[in-house]
């Protein structure tokens, strides 16, 4: 049910403010940067003074959206209105804002509604889908560049319209963005299909460490793997999306060692399982089928791996789909197929 009063409040705030700061979550993905750039450019078309802020910058694969734009790492000047996009928890926005944000627009089921006004639609496949749906009603222009940014968010968060979160509304939003100048072929090639040589080498290390057990597939990427591959990022180079395509993988997990002593974990799941609850347990969040967390390795990375795999196995083995009957059987912890 659309909250018309909330939509009206957001529209009024967007049009009344002249100095607006827009930010997103740390370690931004395509939906984060796409929504940041899409909304920011549209508001600039109205003559607004816009600060687009991403504490962790812009990933290389998404820099085609930000050419000639200033994406700051922190607030540069005072603002009248603050907007946080694609962010489920205030802490996930980093240190950009110190006070309560004015507007929070997001689609994560784990969103804590931390702003003064919260537009959270978990049925949407991406925050960019929400923006594409409401920007016309907010009298915000969708130029070809805005369309490309929003379409990038939709494409990347659905892995090319392949996730269970895709609905007719998602496809309608994408079609509208193409009509407004979105280049679907380029977005696929640059943000999903394009890969550096170093990323491919990094994948090789992860695939070499690959393990599986009763529907669970996982791998580990160490700092040494990153150094040997020459990969500059601190992520998994989207390898987790490849693991999720393995035929036997009901849930895929990847562990990425960080230079600061943390471990970055990403989960991908088939539609029968909700891995967001596990992510929340470890201080993270996300979608039912795609979630993540960052855990401090107090003693060793192996300890983190054991804890996460144990929690994931309990979820997986409590709910096993009978392949013949199609019925879902609830099993006790520890029971396996």
Please give the mean pLDDT across all residues of the chain.
Answer: 91
Whether residue 128 contacts residue 35, with contact meaning beta carbons closer than 8 Å, is answered with yes
Among 132, 163, 192, identify where a domain stops: 192
Q: Given 170, 192, 214, which residue is the final one in a domain?
A: 192
Q: In terms of domains, do 164 and 206 share one?
A: no
Number of domains making up the chain: 2
Q: Is residue 92 part of a domain?
A: yes
Report the b/e string of 18-28 with b at 16+ CB within 10 A: eebbbbbbbbb
Q: Higher-confidence residue: 335 or 98?
A: 98
pLDDT at residue 82 is higher than 90: yes
Same domain, 296 and 224: yes
For residue 326, pLDDT beyond 90:
no
Do 205 and 187 have their domain in common? Answer: no
pLDDT, tens digit, 9 for 90 and up, residues 5-26 = 999 999 999 999 999 999 999 9
Task: Assess whether pLDDT exceeds 80 at residue 330.
Answer: no
**Parent domain of 32:** 4-192
* 137 has pLDDT over 90: yes
d(CA 29, CA 263): 18
| pLDDT bracket for residue 29 (50, 70, 90) | very high
- Asked if residue 3 has pLDDT above 90, the reply is no
Residue 191's pLDDT band (boundaries 50, 70, 90)? confident
Does residue 233 fall inside a structural domain?
A: yes
Task: Tell me the pLDDT band of 1, cut-offs 50, 70 and 90.
Answer: low
In the three-class reduction of DSSP (H, G, I as helix; E, B as strand; rest coil), residue 286 is classed as strand
pLDDT tens track for 196-250: 999 999 999 999 999 999 899 999 999 999 999 999 988 899 899 899 999 999 9
Residue 163 DSSP class: S
Same domain, 287 and 256: yes
Q: What is the C-alpha to C-alpha distance for residues 47 and 234, in angstroms, rounded to an integer?
A: 37
Question: Among residues 134, 166, 192, which one ends one of the domains?
Answer: 192
**How far apart, in Å, do the first and last CA atoms of the chain sit?**
40
3-state secondary structure of 246: coil
Whichever domain contains 123, its CATH number is: 3.90.1640.10
Is 18 in the same domain as 137? yes
pLDDT tens sequence across 303-323:
999 999 999 998 887 655 444
Give the predicted TM-score (pTM) of the model. Answer: 0.82
pLDDT band at 337 (very low <50, low <70, confident <90, very high): very low
> Which H helix or E strand runs over 16?
helix 4-16
Q: What is the pLDDT of residue 284?
A: 87
The helix/strand/coil state of 45 is helix
Q: Does 185 lie in the same domain as 147?
A: yes
pLDDT at 299 over 70: yes
Does one domain contain both 30 and 161? yes
CATH number at residue 282: 3.10.310.30
225 and 249 inside one domain? yes
Q: Look at residue 48 and give its three-state secondary structure.
A: coil
Same domain, 202 and 324: yes
Residue 45 and residue 109 in one domain: yes
Asked if the structure places residue 237 within a domain, the reply is yes
Pairing type for strands 19-24 and 49-53 reads: parallel
Query: Mean of the pLDDT values across residues 249-276?
Result: 92
Q: What pLDDT, in 10s, does the model give residues 88-108?
A: 999 999 999 999 999 999 999
3-state secondary structure of 30: helix
**How far is residue 174 from each of residues 26, 37, 144, 158, 223, measured CA to CA in Å?**
25, 17, 13, 11, 38
Query: Which pLDDT value is given to residue 320?
Result: 53
């Amino acid at each position: 049910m659309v909250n018309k009063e909330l939509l009206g409040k957001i529209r009024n705030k967007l049009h009344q403010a002249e100095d607006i700061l827009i930010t997103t979550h740390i370690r931004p993905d395509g939906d984060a940067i796409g929504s940041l750039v899409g909304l920011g450019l549209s508001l600039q078309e109205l003559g607004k003074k816009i600060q687009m802020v991403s504490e962790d910058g812009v990933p290389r694969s998404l820099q085609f959206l930000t050419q000639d734009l200033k994406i700051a790492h922190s607030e540069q000047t005072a603002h009248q209105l603050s907007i946080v996009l694609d962010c489920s928890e205030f802490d996930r926005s980093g240190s950009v804002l110190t006070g309560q944000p004015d507007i929070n627009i997001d689609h994560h089921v784990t969103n804590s509604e931390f702003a003064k006004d919260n537009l959270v639609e978990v049925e949407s496949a991406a925050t960019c889908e929400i923006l594409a749906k409401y920007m016309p009603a907010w009298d915000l222009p969708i130029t070809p560049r805005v369309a490309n940014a929003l379409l990038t968010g939709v494409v990347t968060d659905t892995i090319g319209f392949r996730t269970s979160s895709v609905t007719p509304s998602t496809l309608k939003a994408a079609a509208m963005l193409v009509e407004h100048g979105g280049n679907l072929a380029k977005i696929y090639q640059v943000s999903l299909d394009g890969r550096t040589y170093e990323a491919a080498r990094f994948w090789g290390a992860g695939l070499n460490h690959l393990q599986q057990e009763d529907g669970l597939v996982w791998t580990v990427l160490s700092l040494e793997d990153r150094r040997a591959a020459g990969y500059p990022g601190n992520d998994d180079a989207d390898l987790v999306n490849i693991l999720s395509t393995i035929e036997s993988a009901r849930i895929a997990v990847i562990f990425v060692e960080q230079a600061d002593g943390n471990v970055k974990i990403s989960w991908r799941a088939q539609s029968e399982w909700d891995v967001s609850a596990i992510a929340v347990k470890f201080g993270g969040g996300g979608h039912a089928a795609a979630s993540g967390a960052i855990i401090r390795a107090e003693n060793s990375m192996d300890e983190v791996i054991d804890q996460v795999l144990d929690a994931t196995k309990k979820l997986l083995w409590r709910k096993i789909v009978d392949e013949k009957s199609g019925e879902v059987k609830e099993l006790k912890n520890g029971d396996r197929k």
